[in-house]
Amino acid sequence: MNLKIFILLISYCFGFLVQAQQSSKDSVSIDEKQFFVGVDLLNPIASFFSSKKNYNGFVSYKFKNRWIAVAEVGYEKNGYKENDWNVDAKGIYLEAGVNYILTNYYEKTGQGFYIGGRLAFTPYEQTIINYPIKEMNTSNQVQTIGNSSLPKANVSAGWLEAVLGAKVQLGESPLYLDFIIKPKFLVYSKKQDHVDNLVIPGFGKNKGDVNISFLWGISYRIF
């Protein structure tokens, strides 16, 4: 599915939820503070079936009305091996931002739907093991004439994220399941010898300036 169409459909769904909540006659106070700590479960499980290793933890704090401050930290080791390229990358990534609660019953249970945004950054280590050397032939066609490599280097990247999420309580326990969709938009990239960064920890394999990721995690409510 086209990414723009996918994001539009998700936006319509959340818009419907907001309208439904606004039309409800029931209202509750949402001044009570809430603090959660959690970890992503999806990527560590997926790492058993691929060479990609990604681990992520997060904290969230409802500091005012419907606003939640969120901070995330993760580590990823990944590679890009396509079209005669062989690139390894590893490093931490940091994300910070806010969520906005859409559902009125969040205050009593801590669960519900929300939207938000993140600013993300990663300083990471990249090794270009192999890359193709190309030139124009006599027929004005691009052809590969050899390959080369580049030494290990420290590079970095930054991006913005939109967030669409839901938190579901497990029974009456302080444990919650988190389901989050994150469209990502690359805004900064420090390159090695003017070579595009093809794999970025936390952002994904960079085949363009837009990517999307999913987080299925578990969190614990401290208070």
The larger pLDDT score, comparing residue 204 to residue 109, is at 204
Comparison of pLDDT for 40 and 196, the residue scoring more: 40
182 has pLDDT over 60:
yes
Q: Above 70 in pLDDT, residue 103?
A: yes
Whole-model pTM: value is 0.80
pLDDT (0 to 100) of residue 31: 58
Examine the pLDDT at 214 and tell me if it is beyond 70.
yes
Check whether 27 has a pLDDT greater than 80. Answer: no
Query: Average pLDDT, stretch 133-159?
Result: 83
Q: Is the pLDDT of residue 17 over 50?
A: no
* Domain map (residue ranges) of the chain: 31-81+91-124+155-221
Whether pLDDT at 168 is above 70? yes
Highest mean pLDDT pick, 29-43, 100-114, 119-133? 119-133
Tokens matching residue 86: 């062989």
Per-residue pLDDT band at 11 (split at 50, 70, 90):
low
- Give, rounded to a whole angstrom, the gap between the first and last alpha carbons of the chain: 40
Give the pLDDT confidence score for residue 82 in this predicted structure: 87
> Could you tell me where the DSSP H helices lie in the chain?
3-22, 42-46, 106-109
pLDDT tens, 40-83? Answer: 999 999 988 888 999 999 999 998 888 999 999 999 999 999 88
Calculate mean pLDDT across residues 151-173. 94
**Mean of pLDDT values over 153-166:** 96
The CATH architecture assigned to 31-81+91-124+155-221 reads Beta Barrel (2.40)
Mean pLDDT for the stretch of residues 123-133: 92
Going by the DSSP 8-state scheme, the letter that residue 23 receives in this structure is: T
Among 5-14, 60-69, 128-137, 174-183, the range scoring the smallest mean pLDDT is: 5-14
pLDDT of residue 139: 73
Q: Is the pLDDT of residue 19 over 80?
A: no
Tokens of 157: 């990247």
User: Which residues are within 8 A (CB) of 161 and not within 5 positions of it... i.e. 6 or more apart?
Assistant: 95, 97, 117, 118, 119, 120, 182, 183, 184, 185
